[in-house]
A and B are shown apart, each in its own frame.
Chain A
Amino acid sequence: MQISRAVYVQRLGFSAVAALLGAIFALPLVWFAFAPFNARAELGLAIPKPFTLANFATVFQNSFAMQALFNSLVQALGGVVFVGTAATLAAYALSRSSVPGKGAVTYILLLFSSVVSGSAAMVPIFLIISAAGLIDTHLAVILVFAGGLLPTAMFILRDFIDAIPRSYEESAMVAGASPLQAFFDVALPVIRPGIVVVVVWAFVNIWGSFLIPFILLRSDNLMPASVAIYSFYSEAGTPIVTLLAAYSLLYSLPVIVLYLFVNWKFGFRFFGGIKS
């Protein structure tokens, strides 16, 4: 039949274009699949012969590089604790209490947070942190990220909590629970998936970002991996490719693992624009 052949050709064409686009997207990353395992890796694409983990061994022995990964962890976890706690409490209050003007609050906060972006806020953030005497501390990075990510986190969580029936907590309170008990014992377990998503989102955002620690930190022993990675350049300014590749892979692992986790647990989709 004529039509089915046309449909068949079209399907084939679509598949070919999809495969080509997928390949184009993969191209800049293919190098990363090989270079970390190649003891003589250069910027060129080459299958490692022999396949080796020597680059990783070298990176693991580099105490500065390991310290940087640890610093990333401190800053990301610190930020996540602040964002997770403050956003959960605030989103719950905005959803369930009768604080006046709560409808407008979320919108105004979102407005501010998208207007005061990284590039516009560089100068005042630096001045505030400097005035608070926090320049060159983990706390500075943690607090700045917490403040910046909170409006979106509250927005996502509030949507999530609004969708949960109030009758859960109401019946608990009818049964004699105090409002706090209703929050901790009834609401919190139900909200947990939403909190997990927000926490993962915040972690990935802080873990991957470069500009804020780059501006606020000075000491080598506080630098997160995103900034410290530039120490894998020789004094002449050329990259030490083998170590950079291995280190980049180590540094990317948490993000990949968290993505797979969210994808497996919830299916990766939108929670109010998951990345800023």
Chain B
Amino acid sequence: MKKFSLLSTRAGAVFLAPAAALVGIFVIIPFFWVIFVSFTNQTLLGRTALEPDFVGLQNYVALFNPATFFTRGQFGFSLVLTIQFVLLSALVGQALLGLVLAWLSQAVSPSLKTFLQTTVIAAWILPEVVIGFAWFAFLDYDNGTLNMIMRSLGLPPGDWLLQQPFRVIVFFNTWRGAAFSMMLFNSAFQSIPPSYFQAADVAGASSWQKLRDIALPLIRGHIVTDLILITMWTFNVFTPFLLTNGGPSYRTEILSIYTYRIAFKDFEFGKGAAVGVVIMLINLVFALAYLRIARIKTAEAE
């Protein structure tokens, strides 16, 4: 069946042109360019800035060199750190906390719900540098709010950014990003017919039983979507840089910060591009998984 189209193919092409040009230049070309650069020894300055040499797989060999792979400040160390960062702050932190927040929101009074959601969403929408500085003040050794609380509870204060930098960025990213999971699960819970829960109430089910036996099985699709999206975003997030600069001594240098250091502090564009390619490959796996699920869902809806 051929649908009558409101816009001719030619007009459609004209309408698409501006977007195509912008996306082509700033999304598609970078994709191929970064692959190309990763096989060269391009730098910012000097002869290799203008006439980079083709070096084959040299950048990749350097990244995956087993002798230094896990050394601090090297690629492997950053990769392992990033995986831990994603597992702890996205999968455990954001997703689990988001689920708890959404479930609590369904059960408490409207005013408490508004308070809870407002604080969680504020952490998410405020500009990252503002959040970065707020946390810097929050964690300050002498006067920070956290140590003030620790002292008033009789607990030892800590110089958190120096002693526990990795835990700090894990908590920070959990705090910063929980809103997305919370909102996604909120709308998922609201899509469940209330009669299901009413029936469970009549049968005397506890909240935990309702969550485990009714809600969770019904929102399985949302959970998978949430996990994939937050994994992808956390994998690429640069914000911890604003708290720790990747330090002290590379202990919080996740891959995005590592790439920045190699490319824009050491000016080794070739090597930075090679890291970029590895990051893109990992992103690709998650993006394909996400699109596959999104398509299945659309197909089911139609």
A residues with a Cβ closer than 8 A to B are: 3, 10-11, 14-15, 17-19, 21-23, 25-32, 35, 42-45, 82, 85-87, 89-90, 92-94, 96-100, 102, 107, 109-128, 143-144, 146-148, 150-151, 154, 166, 169-170, 173, 179-180, 182-183, 204, 207-211, 215, 225-227, 229-230, 239, 241, 244, 248, 251-252, 255-256, 259, 268-270, 273, 275-276
CB-defined contacts of A125 to chain B, threshold 8 Å? 26, 30
B residues with a Cβ closer than 8 A to A are: 3-9, 11-13, 15-16, 18-20, 22-23, 25-31, 33-34, 37, 42, 100-101, 104-105, 107-109, 112-113, 115-116, 119-131, 133-138, 140, 142-146, 148-149, 175, 178, 180, 183-184, 187, 204, 206-207, 229, 232-233, 236, 238-239, 242, 255-256, 259-260, 263-264, 269, 272-273, 276-277, 279-280, 283-284, 286-288, 290-291, 295
- Contact present for B12 and A28 (CB under 8 Å): no
Q: Given B4, B18, B109, B127, which contacts A85 in the complex, CB threshold below 8 Å?
A: B18
What 7 pairs across the A-B complex have the smallest Cβ distances? A147-B26, A97-B12, A44-B143, A119-B256, A208-B127, A90-B19, A93-B15
CB-defined contacts of B128 to chain A, threshold 8 Å? 208-210, 226
23 A-B interface contacts by CB (under 8 A): A14-B207, A18-B104, A21-B104, A28-B123, A28-B134, A29-B122, A29-B134, A44-B145, A99-B12, A112-B28, A119-B256, A120-B277, A121-B31, A122-B276, A123-B272, A124-B29, A125-B26, A128-B30, A150-B27, A166-B6, A210-B238, A248-B134, A269-B183
B291 to chain A minimum Cβ distance, whole angstroms, is 6
Give the residue name and chain of the A residue nearest to B284 (CB).
A115
CB-defined contacts of B263 to chain A, threshold 8 Å? 122-123, 126
Question: Given contacts A226-B127, A239-B133, is CB(A118)–CB(B236) below 8 Å?
Answer: yes
Give the residue name and chain of the A residue nearest to B232 (CB).
A114
- Contact present for B16 and A90 (CB under 8 Å): yes
Main secondary structure, interface of A, reads: helix
CB-defined contacts of A150 to chain B, threshold 8 Å? 19, 22-23, 27
- Contact present for A273 and B145 (CB under 8 Å): no
- Contact present for A25 and B34 (CB under 8 Å): no
Total of A-B residue pairs, C-beta within 8 Å: 318
B237 to chain A minimum Cβ distance, whole angstroms, is 8
CB-defined contacts of A270 to chain B, threshold 8 Å? 183-184, 187
CB-defined contacts of B16 to chain A, threshold 8 Å? 89-90, 93-94, 99
- Contact present for A244 and B256 (CB under 8 Å): no
- Contact present for A120 and B27 (CB under 8 Å): no
- Contact present for A89 and B15 (CB under 8 Å): yes
Question: Given contacts A14-B107, A45-B148, A97-B8, is CB(A120)–CB(B204) below 8 Å?
Answer: no
Question: Given contacts A43-B144, A44-B145, A255-B125, is CB(A120)–CB(B236) below 8 Å?
Answer: yes
- Contact present for A248 and B130 (CB under 8 Å): yes
B26 to chain A minimum Cβ distance, whole angstroms, is 3
- Contact present for A112 and B269 (CB under 8 Å): no
- Contact present for A97 and B140 (CB under 8 Å): no
CB-defined contacts of B134 to chain A, threshold 8 Å? 28-29, 31-32, 248
A60 to chain B minimum Cβ distance, whole angstroms, is 18
- Contact present for A44 and B144 (CB under 8 Å): yes
- In the docked arrangement, what's the CA distance between A270 and B279, Å? 27
CB-defined contacts of B140 to chain A, threshold 8 Å? 43-44
- In the docked arrangement, what's the CA distance between A27 and B140, Å? 13
- Contact present for A147 and B25 (CB under 8 Å): yes
- In the docked arrangement, what's the CA distance between A151 and B16, Å? 12
- In the docked arrangement, what's the CA distance between A3 and B22, Å? 62
- Contact present for B27 and A25 (CB under 8 Å): no
CB-defined contacts of A147 to chain B, threshold 8 Å? 22-23, 25-27
Q: Given B13, B108, B236, which contacts A14 in the complex, CB threshold below 8 Å?
A: B108
CB-defined contacts of A14 to chain B, threshold 8 Å? 104, 107-108, 207
- Contact present for B27 and A113 (CB under 8 Å): yes
A218 to chain B minimum Cβ distance, whole angstroms, is 12
- Contact present for B27 and A109 (CB under 8 Å): yes
- Contact present for B264 and A112 (CB under 8 Å): no
- Contact present for A275 and B5 (CB under 8 Å): no
CB-defined contacts of B7 to chain A, threshold 8 Å? 92-93, 96-98, 179, 183
Give the residue name and chain of the B residue nearest to A259 (CB).
B125
- In the docked arrangement, what's the CA distance between A86 and B29, Å? 18
Give the residue name and chain of the B residue nearest to A30 (CB).
B145
- In the docked arrangement, what's the CA distance between A83 and B287, Å? 22
Q: Given A99, A112, A154, A269, which contacts B19 in the complex, CB threshold below 8 Å?
A: A154
- In the docked arrangement, what's the CA distance between A110 and B283, Å? 12
CB-defined contacts of B206 to chain A, threshold 8 Å? 10
CB-defined contacts of A90 to chain B, threshold 8 Å? 15-16, 18-20
Q: Given A10, A22, A100, which contacts B119 in the complex, CB threshold below 8 Å?
A: A22
- Contact present for A124 and B30 (CB under 8 Å): yes
Q: Given B3, B112, B180, B287, which contacts A115 in the complex, CB threshold below 8 Å?
A: B287
- Contact present for A22 and B112 (CB under 8 Å): yes
Which interface residue of B119, B135, B287 has the most chain A CB atoms within 10 A?
A: B119
- Contact present for B27 and A151 (CB under 8 Å): yes
- In the docked arrangement, what's the CA distance between A119 and B100, Å? 31
Told that A32-B130, A97-B8 touch, could you supply 15 new A-B pairs with CB distance under 8 A?
A25-B175, A43-B143, A43-B144, A93-B12, A99-B9, A109-B27, A114-B286, A117-B232, A122-B264, A122-B272, A147-B26, A229-B130, A268-B183, A273-B180, A275-B125
